Amino acid sequence: MKIWIDGRYCSREDARVSVFDHGLLYGDGVFEGIRAYGGRVFRLREHLERLYRSARALLLEIPLPPEELQRTVTAAVEANGAPDAYIRLVVTRGAGALGMNPRLCPKPSIILIVDEIRFYPEKCYAEGIALMTSSLRRIPPACYDVRIKSLNYLNNLLAKIEANQAGCLEAVMLNQEGRVAECTGDNIFIWSGGTLKTPSAMDQALEGITRDVVLGLAAAAGIPCAEASLTQYDLYTAQECFLTGTGAELMPVTKIDGRTIGDGKPGPVTRRILGLFHEEVRKP
């Protein structure tokens, strides 16, 4: 494995960041999880656009222009000989003095990892998974906007721990008003009343790249789809449910808080969209 850090490649064993990096000390930084399929980096432009938006919101100056960073990501995939890979692109505030003042960090740091990832066991893609609703609420925009894909994932992590303790692989997170936001690492969709529905960013859902791909594929296939405010009731009474994310791709959901979704198996709309997605990522 060749890890790219600030302009040079190093091995996994030799990869180092400063203990004074504010990304480590305070979660001060942004990141993207990206996929490569058949040597083609999927939706790289969209990922980089979101990365730069997140950085702009944090007044974090990424030390490479988007075009150069795009070439760097593509080169890293080639250098690792990994046509099918998960790419983690991280930009930290960089090393500075102790204390939370970002002005004490003169130069941001860029880290690029090309590796494999498996969010869920393979059998779950055929059988679906069970979710539970976390008791923790998604951070409201009055605190900070979760559209910033920052290194501080404590809110999600605590909900993930809660899911693990309950014997579930993933947890639904609600916002302060009790509406469905997203899961700890994935967006959520339901099929209900003849329409594919997913929460909007205004309900504290991350504007997921895979989420947007699915909405586009559904619309092109003539499947009615919309952003919608959802509650637990909508989840419990849905005919189908699935999750989307770069790491997870598309994961069927067959049970939420002990309620069986549909007939307890991945439904026809879920299977159709999964097929469309697999075709999309393999396009040359």
- Chunk the chain into consecutive blocks of 10 residues (it has 284) and report each block's average pLDDT, rounded to whole numbers: 96 96 97 96 98 98 97 97 96 96 96 92 95 96 92 96 97 97 98 98 94 98 97 98 96 98 97 96 88
**Residues tagged active-site:** 149
Global pTM reads 0.95
Token pair belonging to 280:
């999309």
- Cα 126 to Cα 112, 185, 196: the distances in Å are 32, 20, 20
The whole-chain average pLDDT of the chain stands at 96
Nearest to 271 by CA among 205, 208, 199, 221: 221
In this structure, are residues 210 and 173 in contact, taking their beta carbons and an 8 Å threshold?
Answer: no
- Which pLDDT value is given to residue 118? 86
The structural domains of the chain, ordered by start, are 2-115 (3.30.470.10), 124-281 (3.20.10.10)
